[in-house]
Chain A
Amino acid sequence: MGRIFLCWSMLLLLLAGEIVATQSGLDRMICALAVLMVLIIVIGFMKIFQAPSLAIIFAVAGLFWLGVLLMLGSLDSFTRTSFFTSGLPVSHWPWQSV
């Protein structure tokens, strides 16, 4: 009961943090806060550490393959130097500044 309330308030705080970060234009900060919110839900609400250990294996596998999809899937777009119909060719990774 208490734990759930704690998670709930932390989520609301993080949400407020996201809004503040938006006003200051801190995009990376928003992403970091969103990841924290996801973690709170997974640990606090879905109780992954009380679940059978298989659940953790499955969750990690899903996360790993999600990473593969996002990284290998964006590899082409972020390294392409030709074949654009409009706009500037992009040749940098999202986390690098132009």
Chain B
Amino acid sequence: MSDAADPHGPYETLRHQEETTIAGMWLFLASESLLFGGLFLVSLIYAHTRANGWAAGVRHTDLVIGGVNTVILITSSAIYTLAVEAARQDHKRRAVQAAMTAAALGLVFLLLKAFEWSKEFKEHLFPGTHFAITGADAGGAQLFYSFYFLATFLHAVHMIVGTGLIAWICLRAGKVNPGKSWNTSVEIVGLYWSFVDLVWMILFPVLYLVGRT
């Protein structure tokens, strides 16, 4: 693998390309943080203007599943970081193994999430005419659950994309000589994966903890 970049591409060296790609990913993540930022504005406002109903909603979420899922995501992100380190030291095999473990944990997260959702559907916690929580705070609780389902859905979509990206990484590793640009890809996907984890670190307290007692 030589250090010269593609002569038709915009870069002089591979190092330059790598640095630029990483910076670009960070910029994209800054953009993503504003995507979730709009959601958090909604929760910030309703959690205060509709505090009682909102808290009633928080009390109905399943803290056990949420907590276990948080542990899973933290672990998954940590293991993927191991993959990034392994790729940096050109241990391709170790990198792929770690990445696949991280993706598997991501799938476990999604499965648990799906189970949680189906439980909530059965308990009539999806907003609508047969909503389970009644009384004066029913409106606020419905607002909470609208937020809950949309936020967890959006997060789950990011998880699915992330899992797909990791799968792509692992497939590319099978090619004869993935080379330096592969290491960069591993790193980029790692940034994304950790970002998804990071979003959950905020979603978890907002959906399960704040206002519970």
Contact = CB atoms under 8 A, between A and B. Distances in A.
Interface string A61-77: 11101100110011001
B201 interface: yes
Contacts of B212: 22, 25
Nearest to B33: A62
A11 to B, nearest CB: 5
Interface in A29-45: 30-31, 33-34, 37-38, 41-42, 44-45
A33 to B, nearest CB: 8
Contacts of A70: 37, 40-41, 44
A65 B82 CA distance: 31
B122 to A, nearest CB: 25
Contacts of B67: 15, 19
Interface residues of A, number: 48
Contact of B19 (A34, A52, A73): A52
Contact of B26 (A8, A11, A59): A59
A47 B78 CA distance: 12
Interface in B154-213: 190-191, 194-195, 197-198, 201-202, 204-205, 209-213
B152 interface: no
Contacts, number: 131
Main secondary structure, interface of B, reads helix
A10 to B, nearest CB: 10
Nearest to A53: B23
A1 B85 contact: yes
Interface of A: 1, 4-5, 7-8, 11-12, 15, 18-19, 21-25, 27, 30-31, 33-34, 37-38, 41-42, 44-46, 51-52, 54-55, 58-59, 61-63, 65-66, 69-70, 73-74, 77-78, 86-87, 90, 94
B34 A15 contact: no
Given A51-B22, A69-B37, A94-B48, A18 B209 contact: yes
Contacts of B23: 51-52, 54-55, 58
B30 interface: yes
A35 B41 CA distance: 16
